[in-house]
Amino acid sequence: MKANQNSLYILMISIHGLIRGKQLELGRDADTGGQTKYVVELTRALARRPEVGQVDLVTRLITDDSVSPEYGKPLEALDQNARIIRIDAGPGLYIPKEDLWSHLDAYTDELFGWLHRQPRLPDVLHSHYADAGYVGVRLSHLTGLPLIHTGHSLGRDKFRRLLALGLSVEDIQHRYKMSERISAEEDVLNSASLVITSTHNEIEDQYELYDCYTPEKMSVIPPGTDLNQFHPPTGEEASVGFFGVLSRYLREPHKPMILALSRPDERKNIVSLLEAYGQSKRLQQLANLVIVAGNRDDIRELNDGAQNVLTELLLVIDCYDLNGLVALPKHHSASEVAEIYRLAAASKGVFVNPALTEPFGLTLLEAAASGLPLVATEVGGPVDIIGNCNNGLLIDPLDEASIASALLSILEDQELWSKYSEHGLTNVARFYSWEAHAKTYLEKLTALIDQNRIAARPAPLAKAPAVQTRTRAIFTAIDNTLLGDPEALAMFVKVIREQHRRVLFGISTGRSLNSVLKILKVHSIPMPDVLITSLGTEIYYPPQFTTDISWTHHIDHWWTPQVLKRIVDPLPGLTPQSKDQQSRFKVSYYYDEQLAPSMEDILTMLRQHEVSVHTTLSFGQFLDFVPARASKGQALRYVANQWKIPLERVLVNGGSGGDEDMLRGNTLGVVVATRHREELAQLSETQRVYFAEGSHASGILEAIDYYDFFNL
């Protein structure tokens, strides 16, 4: 760790795919492609800057025989002040990004713990893609650190394009978990201080689809490409190994190559290119078609998306009887990619990207740097790239005739081919370099950190006594969870009294402090060590009931209750709760589900007004709004961190919607059998949440046995 107090420490978060410092396995699968390359090259470029002391690229630890053991190393040095950190959360197996959603709370808790074991916290968090955005939002709320986000590919844009292709909503949801992804993207756009895009087009046409659309927070900083790796042909192309591979497929391998290179994902729309080629005898006379679509052994072992793409390609090749004209190589190595581009350039071919939507398109930079003219989708980043480089033609990805005619117009016009090839070589170096990217990035970052330091709260005061013996904690809500069964409550109280030296006892409730104190008295419940009240917006330490002021400062961030009330008050089916339920950081309503808008519609409205709040519905009737950084779960993590009690030894009892985020992640959750626990049904797939048979306090006693809590 080289970051001293003056130099910048940047934490990149990019969770899915296979990430390592060398020989990236790009194209190996749907999750290892442009983003994995982008984050490694960005990390290296930033680490080279004098202002930067340390850059850590955080991803996921993968221990799986089907991939290299390198991905199971918790730490990999990238450069002298850049590292890859692999966090062990969720299954060790290499699973598709779409299956990571239920593991991201645990990932957040593990990364939060790792950060607090380092010599210093980062100056900024930078999340990449929806899954890292989910983690980044929660870490930013917990730590108060500013969040930068880069989407790389956006769910709403992909969803819209796949619908246009004819896929059903159910099919898209099944394959791509699109609702979890879009919800996470909306949240990160709501919480990030800065969004870095690669093109203006992303801001105008892609991010514009989101409820939380904040172009003023967005900056276009185009990525670079490695001009040492990607360069024009050297003249020996015919002798390279891959030419031999392609020759196996091609009757006349020396003809010009139409080259497509992308992950085998439906969004890449490769089949439309093949259809365009299959329908054009002229194209088939002029050129071969080379499709590099990832690496595969057996198509039947690939995930659904890739399987569909490759199967359809083989069927279309057969339908037009294109054997001898089309090459669909099964394998290629990372080092062969640059050779493939050069082979196509040496053959006077064309690179084509027919994607339904291409957020940016790193392959276009690589092709241009190799001297290849481009034919690319008019949807997304290629608009900017070809606009800057003037090195090719844009096409409508759903119009196969336009793809064919664009290809013909370049292949049949040697002058045009040379013009586009030269423009590409000149302009890719001019517009797309990582050094320029890193310089602009740091200018934006410095401004962001300065403004955040001004607003930053005083350092959290040490709350826990210097030496404390508690090695574990029990936190419980009150209504329908702790209360409701006097006998069980008496037994639970007995356990708390017996274990009091080892166990921190806390209450975490939506009620106010006064209301809690009355209940403790009436039910003869021993005074807890910590009181988290008003839905995680207030933290008190008995017996003096000192307020945790640093928590108050921490949550008072982007909190605009007046704006919130102007949006929510007029809505049907919502009635403000009584004054004693309202507080400085809590706005509460009674919710009538017959009359009120759905929760999703309310969240959408708030995002559209850029209101960043934490919203919960409890017991089907209590609708509560608190600051984004406040909630039972965030307050609980703050306290556990102060008292140095690992979340794996914090037993948390809940029963309604407001308890959800303290039950998620690494805490030991128990949902007691209450009438409204269906509000927590989505937690049933989370491995650390136990749905008790017993109700009220007996459910907590059951969970103590289930987790063997006192012997952990």
Ligand X SMILES: O=P(O)(O)OC[C@H]1O[C@](O)(CO)[C@@H](O)[C@@H]1O
Residues near ligand X (CB under 6 A) are: 16-17, 31-36, 97, 129, 152-153, 158, 265, 267
- Residue 292 touches which of ligand UPG, ligand X, none (CB < 5 to 8 A by kind)? ligand UPG
Give the position of tokens 């760790």.
Answer: 1
On the CB side of 357, CA atoms within 13 Å amount to 20
Closest by CA position to 474, among listed 651, 705, 646, 635: 651
d(CA 255, CA 240): 16
Residue 454: which residues within 8 A CB-CB, separation 6 or more?
none
Q: Count CB neighbours of 659 within 10 A.
A: 31
Question: Which of 84/474 has CB closer to ligand UPG?
Answer: 84
CB of 39 to ligand X, least distance (A): 9
The 8-class DSSP code of residue 223 comes to -
Residue 97 interface partner, choices ligand X, ligand UPG, none, CB cut-off 5-8 Å depending on type: ligand X
Nearest residue relative to ligand UPG (C-beta): 27
Residue 437 amino acid letter: H
Between the CA of residue 702 and those of 507, 698, 706, what are the distances in Å?
18, 6, 6
d(CA 639, CA 539): 9
Cβ at position 357, least distance to ligand X in Å: 9
Min CB(263)–ligand X separation in Å: 6
Residue 16 CB, nearest approach to ligand X (Å): 6
- 140 or 153, CB closer to ligand X? 153
Pick one of ligand X, ligand UPG, none as the site partner of residue 360 (Cβ within 5 to 8 A by kind). Answer: ligand UPG
* CA nearest neighbour of 67 among 13, 129, 19: 19
Which residues sit at the interface with ligand UPG, rule CB under 6 A? 26-27, 33-35, 37-38, 152-153, 198, 261-263, 292-294, 337, 358-363, 366, 381
Backbone angles phi, psi at 690, to 5 degrees: -100, 125
Q: Which is nearer to ligand UPG, 359 or 392 (CB)?
A: 359
Using CA atoms, how far residue 164 sits from 108, 258, 357, in Å, is 35, 26, 11
Instruction: In angstroms, give the least distance from the CB of 270 to ligand X.
Output: 13
Q: Which option in ligand X, ligand UPG, none does residue 690 bind, with CB closer than 5 to 8 A by kind?
A: none
* Residue 358 interacts with which of ligand UPG, ligand X, none, CB < 5 to 8 Å by class: ligand UPG
Pick between residue 20 and residue 267 the one whose CB is nearest to ligand X. Answer: 267
Write down the least CB distance from residue 601 to ligand UPG, Å: 30
Q: Give which of ligand X, ligand UPG, none residue 349 binds (C-beta under 5 to 8 Å, depending on kind).
A: none
Nearer to ligand X, 33 or 253 (CB): 33
224 or 233, CB closer to ligand X? 224
Radius of gyration of the chain (CA): 28
Helix (H) or strand (E) holding 367, with range, is helix 362-369
Question: Tokens representing 424?
Answer: 């590409």
Compare residues 16 and 649 and give the one whose CB is closer to ligand X.
16
Q: Which is nearer to ligand UPG, 233 or 627 (CB)?
A: 233
Rounded least distance, CB 367 to ligand X, Å? 17
Nearest approach in angstroms of CB 638 to ligand X is: 32
Q: Cis peptide leading into 570, omega within 30 of 0?
A: no
Instruction: Give the CA distances from residue 549 to residues 80, 351, 389, 537, 554, in Å, rounded to whole numbers and listed in that order.
Output: 40, 60, 55, 11, 8
| Rounded Cα distance, 255 and 602, in Å | 59
Looking at residue 118, the DSSP 8-state letter turns out to be: S
Nearer to ligand X, 362 or 651 (CB): 362
> Binds 366, which of ligand X, ligand UPG, none (CB < 5 to 8 A, cut-off by type)?
ligand UPG
Of the CA atoms within 13 Å of residue 571, those in its CB half-sphere come to 26
Minimum CB distance to ligand UPG, residue 267 (Å): 7
Residue 209, Cβ density class (10 Å: 0-12 exposed, 13-18 middle, ≥19 buried): middle
Question: Which of ligand UPG, ligand X, none interacts with 362 (beta carbon under 5 to 8 A by kind)?
Answer: ligand UPG
Closer CB to ligand UPG, 360 or 417, in the complex = 360
Question: What does 363 bind: ligand UPG, ligand X, none (CB cut-off 5 to 8 Å by kind)?
Answer: ligand UPG
